[in-house]
Structure 1
Amino acid sequence: MKKLVFTLLFLGTYALLSAQPSAYKAQPFADDVPLTTPSMLDADYIARVMAALPLPEAAPENIKQLSKVASVQNHYKEFTIAWQKLESKKLSRLRKWRDSEITDLHKKQTNLFYPFAGPDFLNAYLLFPTCDNYLLFGLEKMGTLPTMAQLRGNYLFRLRKSLSILMKRNYFITRDMINNLNSNVKGVLPLIAVFMARTDNKILSIQKVYVQKNGKPKFVAFNDNKWHPGIKGVTIEFKNKNRDLPQRMYYFGTNFVNTAMYTKKNLVNFITNFKNKMTFTKSASYLLHGHNFSIIRNIILNQTSASVQDDTGVPYRYFKNSWSVKLYGKYARPVRDFNYGFQTDLNRLFKTDKTVKPIDFTFGYHWWTDKSSILVFRKK
């Protein structure tokens, strides 16, 4: 009964939340103008400030002046220390594992499907740096970047608070994200901007996107506040310094439960229209284990060529003979809130498969133990 009550409460919360994007508007810088309204070039500079990275000489003088503000100086100090810890304990090791174990997935003209991602562009790009498109979905609203006045105040402190769980565990907690992104940072866009800057990417453009009935995206300027048909999201075009061509990320604050997806066939068509897809699933609350999320589960099973996930993704039993699997780490019972997610067959496989490789980093909910697991499925 406790399990049922928790599941209903979680799904109820999931179903009630939706995103409310804000708008860009091209105009000169001013203290009272959100930095989501000037040029995209300025937005990239602000991403670097939030990520505590040096500004280039070409940065506007009023942005450079932020370096003289005590709260900004403190942010650079505190954020750099926290990021260095995350890099040494998790990111560098995850990158090494990526280069050793999934290089075959780093092909050109591929796309990444990341359901239940929220603002986690960081792990998506870290594991799959060569994709043309990144399709991220979550419950959190899109939000805006900060104003100059906010950056001189306590905004950067709140930004670090919103990122503190990720810095410690390398995943976001839905409940905490809902609270922080409503009261502190106001949406996922600032966090995504930080991750883009910290992965050596430059923001080239940010637009609103509306998914039409046929699943095709319609792009409009971010300052366009007119009504447009379709499911609304945001798209960011960005470029890595080591890559010739730009890449694109889409984010939609939407509900993936079946009862909602029945009315969002255009979103299903949108996802389907991206060929050569791979899936990444991490710390996903075991939602894909239940019948309430079968639409998304079937997209993963029927439309993607590979799936990199922890045990919270599609259960092992759904991957039939047309898939191969490679196991890493140690399998453990789900954390207390998700006891219903235990997989007897997966537990047996981890115990009997002599090819399981160890990992030297945590991945997913078992962040305080050595019992993290990664499953890499490849379609035969």
Structure 2
Amino acid sequence: MSSATGVAPVLADSSPEDRTARLLAGFADGADERATRARPAYAPRIDRAFARFAEKVGEPMQAWAAEALVQTPGETVFYPFAGADFPTAHRMYPLAARYVLIAMQRGGPPPDPAAQGREALGELLAGYERLLSAFLRRGFFVTAEMNAETGNDAAIRGITGALMVFAAREGFELLGVDPVALADDGTLTLHPGDRTRAATWDSVRLRLRRRADGQPVLLEYLRVGLSNNTLKPETPALTLVTGLSDARVILKAASHLPQDNNFTVLTRLLLSRAPTIVQDETGVAYDALRGRFSVKLHGSFKQVNLLFDGSDQETLIEAYRTAGKIDRLPFHVGYRKGAAACMLVATRATVTSDAR
């Protein structure tokens, strides 16, 4: 599933969103003369960045996940604190039918390069080059950088365009993009608001078709707070997250928020409901995980990133130290911390079908 080669060309009857996604993804068949004049080196630079990511991270991650994780066709994947990181969700669970990413950035309307003048189009492409290249180099988004590149004064308005690019690069045809809203009963519905207003596009649903087999897939990005202040009893947000907690869960580069006292409602839901949690050290605390899950350690862990307090990680450090031989992860993931990356695969002990 290379993100740089072997991808079906854009079709004449493809959606405007699909054509935009392929242009911004750097595919030659998606380029147009205006974009080439506005930023001549954009497509080759983006193509090279995705090729490096596929080689160093994407393909090794998918190969690792095929062995380390249970893969159930048609399932739902829940990725809190994700930002626009669809590649991780898809590479870990390539057979899912629904991916739900939650963060606090605005989704935003689909970008429309055709409506941009040459100077504005050049600024738009430059913004996407910076935003995408930074992710592809690190494997995660830095919140401050993302906010700067997608804020009110930036050429990029929200992260929907990045999601569109990732979908195209991960082998999907983009059928359409819709704004969604959280209904009173905690379900998602098409947003009834004016589509010309930015607030209508806080949360988005990308309707995709997997090019490999033609299967429909949903990618939903939701701007929903995950702190205790938002997930209060009898609120739509709590109902939504409670339901999503029954799905496969990914936690990566989560700023250790699931270990914070302000996020205990979310953490309790994941601990009580999730069948599996795959995470780096920034997810649910190791002591809490091993009380309810069978936890398999992958990679290496000796310290947290220096930006975070590592005082509550001693148990996890000791677990790695005493675990004996653990294979090194074949890809980098999460924050840099002066040691090899780590992943924990937690499988609920009572769900025997999830054990390998």
Give the aligned CA root-mean-square deviation in angstroms: 2.6
Aligned partner letter, 2:292: S
Partner of 1:186: 157
Q: Conserved in 2, the CA contact under 8 Å of 1:93 and 1:361?
A: yes
Q: 1:52 to 1:377 in 2, by over 3 A?
A: same
Q: 1:252 to 1:275 in 2, by over 3 A?
A: closer
- Find out whether 1:211 has 2:185 as its counterpart: no
Partner of 1:239: 209
Partner of 1:120: 85
Q: 1:350 to 1:340 in 2, by over 3 A?
A: closer
Tell me which of 10, 32, 41 is aligned to 1:74: 41
SS in 1 for 2:307: helix
Q: Conserved in 1, the CA contact under 8 Å of 2:245 and 2:270?
A: no
Aligned partner letter, 2:159: V
Q: Conserved in 1, the CA contact under 8 Å of 2:83 and 2:104?
A: yes
- Find out whether 1:202 has 2:202 as its counterpart: no
CA–CA separation in structure 1 for the residues paired with 2:193 and 2:79: 24
SS in 2 for 1:375: strand
SS in 2 for 1:97: helix
CA–CA separation in structure 2 for the residues paired with 1:88 and 1:82: 10
Partner of 1:32: none
Tell me which of 56, 59, 64 is aligned to 1:97: 64
**Structure 1 residue 275 displacement after superposition:** 7.6
SS in 2 for 1:261: coil
- Find out whether 1:292 has 2:257 as its counterpart: no
SS in 2 for 1:363: coil
**Structure 1 residue 284 displacement after superposition:** 0.5
CA–CA separation in structure 1 for the residues paired with 2:201 and 2:20: 28
Partner of 1:343: 313
CA–CA separation in structure 1 for the residues paired with 2:234 and 2:49: 40
Q: 1:92 to 1:232 in 2, by over 3 A?
A: closer
CA–CA separation in structure 1 for the residues paired with 2:181 and 2:14: 20
Q: Conserved in 1, the CA contact under 8 Å of 2:301 and 2:340?
A: yes
**Structure 1 residue 263 displacement after superposition:** 7.2
- Find out whether 1:147 has 2:127 as its counterpart: no
SS in 1 for 2:177: strand
Structure 1: 5+ residue runs without aligned partners?
1-38, 57-62
CA–CA separation in structure 2 for the residues paired with 1:248 and 1:150: 32
CA offsets per residue over residues 108-149 of structure 1, 9 Å max, x none?
232111111011111111111122221111111112313322
**Structure 1 residue 165 displacement after superposition:** 2.0
CA offsets per residue over residues 47-89 of structure 1, 9 Å max, x none?
0000011327xxxxxx74446x333541111111222222222
Q: 1:276 to 1:54 in 2, by over 3 A?
A: farther
CA–CA separation in structure 1 for the residues paired with 2:282 and 2:192: 37
Tell me which of 330, 335, 347 is aligned to 1:378: 347
Tell me which of 132, 135, 140 is aligned to 1:171: 140
**Structure 1 residue 162 displacement after superposition:** 1.4
CA offsets per residue over residues 207-266 of structure 1, 9 Å max, x none?
12222221122224785579x9x9962111111112342111221223211112227721
SS in 1 for 2:163: helix
CA offsets per residue over residues 267-295 of structure 1, 9 Å max, x none?
22123334850100100100111110011
Q: Conserved in 1, the CA contact under 8 Å of 2:139 and 2:334?
A: yes
TM-score w.r.t. length of structure 2: 0.85
CA–CA separation in structure 2 for the residues paired with 1:96 and 1:75: 30
**Structure 1 residue 370 displacement after superposition:** 4.3
Tell me which of 19, 22, 35 is aligned to 1:45: 19
CA–CA separation in structure 2 for the residues paired with 1:340 and 1:264: 35
SS in 2 for 1:260: coil
Partner of 2:28: 54
SS in 1 for 2:28: coil
CA–CA separation in structure 2 for the residues paired with 1:78 and 1:264: 48
Partner of 1:138: 103
Partner of 1:9: none
Aligned partner letter, 1:214: D
Q: 1:362 to 1:370 in 2, by over 3 A?
A: farther
Aligned partner letter, 2:21: A
Partner of 2:226: 256
